[in-house]
């Protein structure tokens, strides 16, 4: 399976594009719940039809994960749940606290990614899977935010652990600003280690 790490525009990349949402699939872009400058906000404002998107997020579509009702009566989805929207995969990625801040624990990040790979396997239909560097935006991690390099390694490690195979490959799209902070030369090193089955006893 080909895995490409590229710098560019996620929206201009061919394939099923993963867009992170909160666990309620909120679509209110008001710079309180969703920032208009976030990937989430840009998608909703520029690339989605509001009424169709609203119907999509309100519909209980096919999923390997079971949603539940929160205390306020809203539907809360397990992290990693995906809703299909044309060429996009809408991902339940973070919790929301009382101050409308996206929050996540590191263990939940890994669990979310494992669920996501399973969900993508359900709906990708032979197309390339295109993702941003999940967690590199405004998401707050309890206990301290991992570096961009750690986030990328975790994404690739969970893909390996999931044993899911995407025929047309996986593309992780970085912004120029994010890529400039990363040690991308190390990526080939640990992918080669995986191919040689190094680290399997450690569960890596």
The pLDDT profile of the chain, 204 residues, written as one tens digit per residue, is 888 999 999 999 999 999 999 999 999 898 888 889 999 999 999 999 999 999 999 988 778 788 887 767 789 899 999 999 999 999 999 988 787 778 888 889 999 999 999 999 988 889 999 999 999 877 788 878 889 999 999 999 999 999 999 999 999 999 999 999 888 877 777 667 666 665 554 444
Q: Where are the beta strands (DSSP E) in 74-169?
A: 75-76, 82-85, 88-96, 102-105, 129-132, 140-142
Cβ neighbors of 189 (< 8 A, separation 6 or more) are none
Neighbouring-strand partners of residue 68 = 76
Sign of CA dihedral 29, 32, 34, 39: positive
pTM > 0.85: yes
Which domains are seen in the chain, by residue range? 3-202 (3.40.220.10)
């Amino acid at each position: 399976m080909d895995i490409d790490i590229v710098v560019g525009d996620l929206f201009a990349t061919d394939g099923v594009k993963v867009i992170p949402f909160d666990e309620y699939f909120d679509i209110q872009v008001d710079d309180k719940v969703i920032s208009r400058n976030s990937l989430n906000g840009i998608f909703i404002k520029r690339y989605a039809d509001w009424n169709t998107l609203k119907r999509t997020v309100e519909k209980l579509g096919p999923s390997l994960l079971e949603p539940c009702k929160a205390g306020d009566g809203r539907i809360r989805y397990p992290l990693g749940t995906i809703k299909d929207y044309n060429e996009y995969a809408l991902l339940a990625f973070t919790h929301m606290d009382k101050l409308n801040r996206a929050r996540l624990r590191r263990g939940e990040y890994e669990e979310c990614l494992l669920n996501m790979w399973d969900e993508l396997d359900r709906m990708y239909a032979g197309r390339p899977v295109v993702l941003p560097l999940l967690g590199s935006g405004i998401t707050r991690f309890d206990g301290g935010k991992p570096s961009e390099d750690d986030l990328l390694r975790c994404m690739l490690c969970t893909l390996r652990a999931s044993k899911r195979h995407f025929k047309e490959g996986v593309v992780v799209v970085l912004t120029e600003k994010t890529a400039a902070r990363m040690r991308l030369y190390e990526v080939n090193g640990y992918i080669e280690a995986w191919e040689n089955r190094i680290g399997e006893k450690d569960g890596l």
